[in-house]
């Protein structure tokens, strides 16, 4: 096209100059002849200019915009969530309500929301949650209702823990007062919920830990048990020891180390030598209520051995705590096996029993005559998943 413009301009200039010369000489008749010659020249020039090639048609695939990194990340995350939903997970259904889900999937979603909502949140969010349920029974003490699945001390994972958010919680309690601190007095396991005692001074921390060392702190736990213990109340006095379990999945867990065994004739018991590594463990228990093959049991540990309550319930009473996937089997690590009737009541299938959380709640704590004053007793309400289970099993919650 540029060549055509150049030829045209050149020809126009020549025509103008030729016409001017013809006019000055009086040869006006030659102008028409010149014009016809220029016209033929323009026609030849235009014919000699190569035609511009049209670009090839664009296919549908070429019309797609370039994929940005953020778009690719979103696509991968969406596909992963959709895969989890079809493979037994339910994240896609949570994010996209239009995804059809069954009653079983809804139940799994409910359990996961109950138990995982505070494990990966910002520390400020966890601190605010603890502050909402904060109890100040004494100027030197504080009590929080520990949520499920959050460690008290710093663990191996990168998830939240209570100790790391205590400085934030202290500022919420005392404002910007200099030297404001909170200390964990008595810890709880990651899967245990309920009363977590904090000290606001180092003096109070030492005082409470000394009471605990002398077995003067009274702690009561509520558990949902699979089965009904017989007799309905009593004292379990069986030492506990950590053992290695061999097999396809070698692991360590706590187990019973009894000092008595049933005699060969089955009439009476015989005392055996105690294992030096065993730790004395004593637990008082009483059944508060029962229904549909499960029971609500109150436990009061006299000693403080690791996993003492879980071991005594599973191996001494034969009624493991609901959701205790570690101590429901001895030789393997597997989800808890539940009776069909219990599964129906809970709205689950056996393949989804692994989503059941441990139903172990630190209900109440009593400090006797704290620093010469009267006894201090505090209690924390049950978590939502705990009350939901009791409602499904038709076990009434005591008024206390």
Residue 202: φ, ψ to 5°: -70, -30
* Cα–Cα nearest to 225, from 146, 310, 110: 310
CB 193 within 8 A of CB 360: yes
- Provide the H-helix boundaries in 139-258: 162-174, 202-213
Give the relative orientation of helices 123-132 and 162-174 as an angle to the nearest 10 degrees: 60
Per the structure block, which two tokens stand in for 389? 């289970």
271 exposure class (CB count in 10 Å sphere: 0-12, 13-18, 19+): exposed
Q: Is 237 a catalytic residue?
A: no
**3 state SS of 294:** strand
Judged by phi (left if over 0) then psi (alpha if -120 to 50, else beta), residue 293 lies in left
Select which of 14, 164, 174, 189 is catalytic: 189
Residue 369: count of CB within 10 angstroms of its CB: 11
b/e sequence 2-25, b meaning 16+ C-beta within 10 Å: eeeeebeeebeeebeebbeebeee
Give 214's contacts (C-beta < 8 A, 6+ positions apart): none
Query: Beta partners for 361?
Result: 193, 222
Per the structure block, which two tokens stand in for 339? 């009776």
How far apart, in whole angstroms, are the C-alpha atoms of residue 58 and residue 224?
A: 67
Judged by phi (left if over 0) then psi (alpha if -120 to 50, else beta), residue 42 lies in alpha
Per the structure block, which two tokens stand in for 344? 């129906």
How far apart, in whole angstroms, are the C-alpha atoms of residue 110 and residue 137?
A: 33
Active site residues: 189
């Amino acid at each position: 096209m540029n060549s055509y413009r150049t030829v045209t301009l050149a020809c126009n200039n020549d025509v103008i100059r030729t016409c001017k010369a013809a006019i000055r000489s009086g040869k006006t008749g030659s102008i028409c002849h010149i014009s016809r010659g220029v016209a033929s020249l323009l026609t030849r020039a235009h014919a000699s200019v190569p035609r511009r090639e049209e670009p090839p048609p664009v296919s549908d695939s070429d019309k797609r915009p370039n994929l940005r990194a953020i778009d690719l990340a979103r696509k991968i995350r969406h596909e992963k969530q959709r895969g989890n939903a079809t493979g037994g997970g339910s994240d896609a259904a949570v994010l996209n309500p239009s995804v059809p889900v069954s009653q079983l999937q809804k139940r799994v979603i409910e359990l996961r929301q109950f138990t995982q909502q505070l494990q990966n949140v910002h520390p400020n969010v966890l601190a605010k949650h603890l502050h909402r349920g904060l109890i100040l029974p004494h100027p030197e003490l504080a009590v929080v209702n520990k949520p499920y699945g959050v460690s008290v001390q710093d663990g191996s994972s990168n998830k939240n823990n209570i100790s790391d958010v205590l400085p934030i919680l202290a500022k919420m309690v005392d404002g910007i007062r200099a030297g404001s601190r909170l200390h964990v007095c008595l810890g709880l396991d990651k899967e245990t919920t309920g009363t977590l005692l904090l000290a606001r001074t180092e003096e109070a921390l030492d005082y409470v830990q000394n009471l605990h060392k002398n077995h003067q702190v009274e702690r009561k736990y509520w558990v949902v048990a699979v089965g009904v213990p017989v007799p309905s109340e009593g004292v379990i006095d069986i030492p506990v020891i950590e053992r290695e379990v061999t097999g396809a999945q070698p692991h360590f867990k706590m187990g019973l180390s009894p000092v008595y065994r049933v005699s060969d004739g089955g009439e009476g018991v015989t005392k055996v030598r105690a294992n030096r590594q065993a730790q004395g463990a004593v637990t008082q228990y009483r059944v508060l209520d029962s229904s549909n093959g499960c029971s609500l049991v109150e436990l009061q540990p006299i000693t403080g051995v690791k996993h003492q309550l879980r071991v005594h319930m599973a191996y001494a009473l034969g009624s493991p705590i609901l959701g205790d996937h570690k101590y429901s089997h001895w030789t393997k690590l597997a989800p808890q096996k539940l009776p069909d009737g219990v599964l129906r009541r809970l709205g689950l299938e056996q393949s989804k029993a692994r989503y059941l959380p441990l139903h172990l709640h630190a209900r109440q704590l009593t400090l006797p005559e704290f620093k010469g004053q009267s006894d201090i007793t505090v209690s924390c309400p049950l978590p939502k998943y705990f009350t939901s289970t009791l409602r499904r099993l038709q076990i009434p919650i005591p008024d206390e």
